[in-house]
Amino acid sequence: TPPAGAMCTASYETTGSWQGGFQGEVTVRNTGTDPLTAWQVSWTFGGGQTVAQSWGARVTQEGTSVTAANESWNGTLAAGAGTTFGLIGTGSAGTVDPDCSGR
C-alpha cells in the first residue's frame, strides 16, 4: 500500500508511427505531496501490439498486458516532479490508457 501522500499519474503519447510499428512516450508525474521512491505503470494493448524496445524503464509484456517499472536512476520523484520513458512497438499505434502506482 502506498503512503497516503504518494500518488502518481501517467500519460501516453504516440510520437511516431510507420507501417508495422510505432514509437511512444510515457510521462510519469508525482502528483502527491510526498516524494516517490519507486513507480510502476501498466496498460493493456488492444490490437496485438508488442513492445520491441524500451528505454528509461524496465518494460515487460505478457500477452496484451504491459508493465513498466522505474530504473534505479529515475525511481525517486519529488512532489510535482516527473520523468519520461520511451518505447518502440510493433503493430499499429492504437490508444493507451496507462495506470500509475507509486510508493
31 inside domain: yes
Q: How far apart are CA 18 and CA 5, in angstroms?
A: 41
The CA angle 14-16-17, to the nearest 5 degrees, is 100
Task: Give the predicted TM-score (pTM) of the model.
Answer: 0.92
Domain count, the chain: 1
99 inside domain: no
**Cell numbers for 27:** 510521462
Which residues face 90 on adjacent strands?
Answer: 21, 50
44 inside domain: yes
Per-residue pLDDT tens, the chain, 103 aa: give them.
455 566 999 999 999 999 999 999 999 999 999 999 999 999 999 999 999 999 999 999 999 999 999 999 999 999 999 999 999 999 999 899 999 999 9
- Give the residue numbers spanning the domain of 66: 8-91
Q: Assign residue 85 the CATH number of its domain.
A: 2.60.40.290
55 inside domain: yes
Q: What is the DSSP letter of 53?
A: E
69 inside domain: yes
